[in-house]
Amino acid sequence: MTATAHPFGTHADGLERCPFIPTYAPPAVMFERGLGTEVWDVDGKRYLDFLGGIAVLSLGHSHPDVAAAVATQAHTLQQVSNYFTNPITPQVAITLDRLLGGGGQVFFTNSGAEANECAIKLARRWGGGAHGRWQVVSAYGSFHGRTLATLHATGQPSKHEPFQPLPPGFRHVAWADIDALAAAVDDTVAAVLLETVQGEGGVNPMPPGYLAAVRALCDERGCLLIVDEVQTGLARTGAWFGFQHDLDDGVQPDIVTLAKALGNGAPVGACWAKAGVAAAFEAGDHGTTQGGNPLSAAAALATLRTMEAIDAPALARLAGATLRASLEALPQVVSVRGRGLLLAAELTDGIDAKAVYAECLAAGLIVNPITPTAIRLTPPLNVSEEHIDEAVAVLSGVLERFGSGVPAR
């Protein structure tokens, strides 16, 4: 199968034979197996995966330690409900709490949107609800999920329109503008919700010092700071968490949300909160049947242990510097932004990122057109130098054919 062939073929009447509800564009390729940074389609064609399931596969495809942990757990105990616990899940919570600075508690979810949903509910409960603090302020250009509440928190009005009316209680302010934020935070606001690098919004890092200013504002106005680390968390940016780049300023959020890399492909998310904030929830206030089940917890524990053993933040910094330098050397790349291995390459005028994505895919490289003019790269954190060189060579070959904005053949 080529990158452009539709995996499901075509009906005689011309309709695509796709069994999925059309929330996504029809899938471009049917993949069969992966190992590390490589993945193969059903026809045996090899690709380098520099998207990694959208910043999920931080240890690469089919990591042996994670695969072994999941297989063993599948044969041991898969689900007990949250009436009970098991030997694995508390260890994941304790490890996350240690990495996040300590003094907190964890609620496990199955996705990033659910982790943010939990954070929003917790902030409202903490703030006293409708007669107290209940609003959440987030940034334009942000992405926080697709449930109705997290969609409203997502600062992209075009995504709101088809689903109005959305739940009330959300305000949006200009990204990285402390005055705009200060103007929006009054005594009805329970929390400010921010990413440290806007991932889906185009890979836009916070300017240095901004998070410390937000922390100070939240303290002054008496509201919580929620940091959405669903995409940036767990070493992706070269620190365990994006907010820790500002450690010199001693920034500590009240709530942190995680998902994506936590299970290295197994669906698991988490909402961490300082114990004093977490105490606002009472038994029965929130829940999800499969959150923190032993199977996804085994994937998470193996992922966290492996990441610690290989010093994943250091790998992300090193490989990120190599990839960034190689991208910056390409004549068709105007600039590279991002942190660690969450990078976007801005292309020269006239080059369409979607067309570059399609040409790269045909040439065996998976990247992501994150804006009309930029491609996002989020390879595994343990990506080899050889694979970085190979990927940049493929990209360079593709970009060379885009001199006039259209690929020459």
Instruction: Judge whether 8 counts as a catalytic residue.
Output: no
Shortest distance in whole angstroms from residue 31 CB to ligand PLP? 19
178 contact partners, CB below 8 Å, separation of at least 6: 210, 213, 214, 217
Among 89, 111, 196, 378, binds ligand PLP (CB under 6 A): 111
173 contact partners, CB below 8 Å, separation of at least 6: 137, 138, 139, 140, 180, 181, 183, 184
Token pair in block for residue 177? 């503008």
Is residue 113 within the footprint of ligand PLP (CB under 6 A)?
yes
Q: Which residue matches tokens 């970085």?
A: 388
Q: Which is nearer to ligand PLP, 227 or 351 (CB)?
A: 227
Q: Which is nearer to ligand PLP, 36 or 199 (CB)?
A: 199
Is residue 352 within the footprint of ligand PLP (CB under 6 A)?
no
Instruction: Judge whether 143 counts as a catalytic residue.
Output: yes
Shortest distance in whole angstroms from residue 396 CB to ligand PLP? 28
Could you say which DSSP state residue 212 is in? H
Task: Give the x/- contact pattern for ligand PLP in 229-258, rule: CB under 6 A.
Answer: -xx---------------------------
Is residue 144 within the footprint of ligand PLP (CB under 6 A)?
yes
Residues 165-204 contacting ligand PLP, CB under 6 A: 195, 199-200
Taking residue 348's Cβ as centre, other Cβ atoms within 10 Å add up to: 15
Q: Which is nearer to ligand PLP, 230 or 391 (CB)?
A: 230
Give the binding range for ligand PLP (CB under 6 A) out of 7-15, 108-116, 161-169, 184-192: 108-116
Give the binding range for ligand PLP (CB under 6 A) out of 19-27, 66-74, 227-235, 395-403: 227-235
Is residue 112 within the footprint of ligand PLP (CB under 6 A)?
yes
Shortest distance in whole angstroms from residue 270 CB to ligand PLP? 11
Is residue 213 within the footprint of ligand PLP (CB under 6 A)?
no
Q: Which is nearer to ligand PLP, 268 or 392 (CB)?
A: 268
Could you say which DSSP state residue 266 is in? B
| Residue, CB closest to ligand PLP | 112
CA distance 403 to 381: 31
Q: Which is nearer to ligand PLP, 37 or 378 (CB)?
A: 378
Instruction: Judge whether 159 counts as a catalytic residue.
Output: no
Whether 137 contacts 127, CB under 8 Å: no
Distances (CA, A) of 147 to 112, 151, 208, 269: 10, 6, 31, 15
CA distance 333 to 311: 30
Strands of the sheet with 365-366, listed across from one edge = 31-35, 38-41, 46-49, 365-366
Cα end-to-end distance, the chain, whole Å? 21
The single residue of 107, 108, 143, 241 carrying the catalytic annotation is 143
Is residue 117 within the footprint of ligand PLP (CB under 6 A)?
no
CA distance 314 to 344: 20
Shortest distance in whole angstroms from residue 285 CB to ligand PLP? 21
Which is nearest to 271 in space by CA: 302, 312, 238, 227?
Answer: 227
Q: Give me the residues that bind ligand PLP (CB under 6 A), please.
A: 111-113, 116, 143-145, 195, 199-200, 228, 230-231, 259
Supply the residues annotated as catalytic: 143, 228, 260
